[in-house]
Structure 1
Amino acid sequence: MKSLKATGSQLADSAFQLTVLRPDQADGAHLPSFSAKMREAGLFPLRPVAPAILQINVGKMCNQVCKHCHVDAGPDRKEIMTRETMQLCLDALARTDIQTVDLTGGAPEMNPDFRWLVEGISKLGRKTIVRCNLTIIVANKKYHDLPEFFARHGVEVVSSLPFYNAGKTDRQRGEGVFDDSIRALKMLNAVGYGQEGSGLVLNLVYNPAGAFLPGSQAGLQQQFKRALLKDFGIVFNDLFAITNIPVSRYLDYLLESGNYAGYMEKLVAAFNPVAAAGVMCRDTISVGWDGQLYDCDFNQMLDLLVASPVQHIRDFDAAALTERAVVVNQHCYGCTAGAGSSCGGATA
């Protein structure tokens, strides 16, 4: 089953609310639109603040095929950011006060110019975050020195680990992933990541392995820290609990398992205005592998460009982008449910 996508040609009642796409079998017609919910909370249209984070998707190629992946990444994906587009990103950074660059993929390290980009960001004196799937570090000898490379450039490493045992992790991310992840975490720890006083930040990401919301981020962090230290001697800084967004492979799973309507009802019932006010799209600009601009990584996967005359990194204008309204749709309920969800975990 193909994932559902919305495009700019499917605009509905305003420039900022898009037609809700509901397959016949999803039975979600009774759910309130996200824009209506935001209007009730006094937050529609959703306005951004000055961008603080530039999130760059350097390509959809990945050494894994995770069941919950909203990027639909995998070894067969050919979309890859060129060095020319990376240079446009560096040029845009140099013209702004944006201090943080968040590199994602796919496995961003598989882009042949990944290290060149990290070095360029470092020369500009900006902070780099890398969304590392861990297994890439041990997948091939050419990646074995990634921990040292990350440490040399002060990169903050954020890595997905669905659970602290093999069963749940491998069911979501593939057979053998847990063991490879543990090996990679030990390699990161060995160069100082997660170690007190090192200044090298290692954060983990938890996504539920089913049609439910994550539990308490603080509680999960305590469980992970205790279990990983006891069983493997592994340490890390923080754990981010992220809600699965009904996009791409996770949407496919919800539809095929008959959980779509029930899951959306959970998200709507858990809508939190405080979390909604703190969503990541307010201070983040997402750059696609081809240089197109989006409000967030999820909108990027749905081809929902920013509602601004500035829609490509070559024309980047932070002031102009601050004047836009954020494009929203039903999937946005995932970021505003409960304690909220962002690339940095809970927002409320």
Structure 2
Amino acid sequence: MRNTLPLLDALNFPPLQRGRLEALQVNLTYRCNQRCLHCHVNAGPTREEAMTDESLTLLHQVIDAHPVQTLDLTGGAPEMHPRFRELVTHARGEGLRVIDRCNLTILSEPGYENLAEFLADQRVEVTASLPCYSQENVDRQRGDGVFEASISGLRRLNALGYGDDASGLILNLVYNPQGPSLPPAQGPLENDYKTHLADAFGIRFNHLLTITNQPIARFGSTLVSKGQFNGYMQLLRDSYRPENLDAVMCRTLVSVDWQGYLYDCDFNQMLNLPMAFPRIISRERAHLRDLLAMPALDGNPIVTRDHCYACTAGQGSSCGGALRD
């Protein structure tokens, strides 16, 4: 399901070029055991899209041949792809840092009972969405019972050593605003999260990542239905900070969809805005097989539209959280 929402003038955002490729962010599947309001992929239990065996083979080859340092696995719930564990094991065997963007509730789903132990054994970095430490707010955004299941998942990860500095098992939480506003300052909010979750539930984690909601897909449709789309876009543009351009994730990351096609970021993937590959003239869209033939992407133009203002507004935003204090 592609985004069909209106975007403002696509010519206003400053031009960007790529630096050295450091990370592959792979959308393994749109299937998910949840259906969150802020989800920019429109993921859910009825989605069937999943990366094919052919694309997974090419992905293995890219990991072996390309000097990438990080494999960032997302979805949907990436763990619901039947070859998730095979891919993780291969990447870790090649020395890559692997990030699992986990919704926490998957850890208690039937058939995934030993998933947490697998992640710990492979020393996978877990980045888990918890948009608030309030049960009412989380369940409103993500569905009834999600908060309780999320707390259960966090406790299970903690029991395995996640969030403990001595173990080296990284557990990061992700915050998204509930409505058309920018996230608060990341540092103070992280302190609030740590205090509340420790006092109320005995939970520990490493860092909180604040991410600005993108005005696309499910969240964008909600904005349109409430008459807030244009106002939110104006907020993003008014909050633009040019110094954030140096740190946006699209400079060092390539997003790969479930069919193996390449994009400058996960948001462009959802808008069907493929990477611009001037050096490849035989394909309408760049694919993993093209990445095999091009070990360096430095200087490649980045495809931008006005939704990119979400990444440069205020403290900035990326899949790794705020860009600046």
TM-score, with length taken from structure 1: 0.88
Deviation at 1:274, TM superposition (A): 1.1
Match of 1:257 in 2: 226
Match of 1:311 in 2: 286
Q: Is the 8 A contact 1:50 1:318 kept in 2?
A: no
Residues 80 and 242 from structure 1, CA distance in 2 versus in 1: closer, same or farther, beyond 3 angstroms? same
Deviation at 1:165, TM superposition (A): 1.4
Match of 1:280 in 2: 249
State which of 195, 207, 223 in structure 2 corresponds to 1:238: 207
Query: Which residues of 2 match residues 140-159 of structure 1 at below 5 A?
Result: 140=110, 142-159=111-128
Match of 2:4 in 1: 4
Cα-Cα RMSD = 1.5
Counterpart Cα distance in 2 of 1:315 and 1:211: 38
State which of 40, 53, 56 in structure 2 corresponds to 1:70: 40
Match of 1:49 in 2: 19
Deviation at 1:241, TM superposition (A): 0.3
Match of 1:168 in 2: 137
Query: Which residues of 2 match residues 328-343 of structure 1 at below 5 A?
Result: 328-343=304-319
State which of 281, 301, 304 in structure 2 corresponds to 1:325: 301
Match of 2:107 in 1: 137
Deviation at 1:3, TM superposition (A): 3.9
Q: Is the 8 A contact 2:194 2:204 kept in 1?
A: yes
Q: How many residues align?
A: 317
Counterpart Cα distance in 2 of 1:63 and 1:295: 27
Q: Is the 8 A contact 2:2 2:272 kept in 1?
A: no
Match of 2:190 in 1: 221
Match of 1:11 in 2: none
Deviation at 1:93, TM superposition (A): 1.4
Counterpart Cα distance in 1 of 2:38 and 2:130: 12
Q: Is the 8 A contact 1:281 1:296 kept in 2?
A: yes
TM-score, with length taken from structure 2: 0.94
Counterpart Cα distance in 2 of 1:84 and 1:200: 32
Q: Is the 8 A contact 1:85 1:290 kept in 2?
A: yes
Q: Is 1:105–2:81 an aligned residue pair? A: no
Offset from partner CA, 1:45-86 (integer Å, 9 cap, x none):
x00101100111101000000001000000111100123311
> 1:36 aligns to what SS in structure 2?
coil
Name segments (4+ residues, structure 1) moved above 6 Å: none
Offset from partner CA, 1:246-276 (integer Å, 9 cap, x none):
1100100100011111111110110011112
Residue segments in structure 2 that go unaligned for 5+ positions in a row = none
Counterpart Cα distance in 1 of 2:213 and 2:179: 9
Deviation at 1:202, TM superposition (A): 0.1
Offset from partner CA, 1:144-194 (integer Å, 9 cap, x none):
211110111110000000100111101111110000000000000000000
Counterpart Cα distance in 1 of 2:308 and 2:161: 37
Residue segments in structure 1 that go unaligned for 5+ positions in a row = 6-20, 23-27, 39-43
Q: Which amino acid letter does the alignment assign opposite residue 315 of structure 1?
A: D
State which of 85, 91, 100 in structure 2 corresponds to 1:115: 85
Offset from partner CA, 1:78-132 (integer Å, 9 cap, x none):
1001233112111011111111100000000000111111111111111100000
Counterpart Cα distance in 2 of 1:280 and 1:125: 21
Q: Is the 8 A contact 1:60 1:74 kept in 2?
A: yes
Q: Is the 8 A contact 1:62 1:105 kept in 2?
A: yes
Q: Which amino acid letter does the alignment assign opposite residue 215 of structure 2?
A: P
Q: Is the 8 A contact 1:134 1:181 kept in 2?
A: yes
Counterpart Cα distance in 1 of 2:305 and 2:259: 23
Q: Is the 8 A contact 2:164 2:204 kept in 1?
A: yes
Residues 114 and 342 from structure 1, CA distance in 2 versus in 1: closer, same or farther, beyond 3 angstroms? same
Residues 274 and 179 from structure 1, CA distance in 2 versus in 1: closer, same or farther, beyond 3 angstroms? same
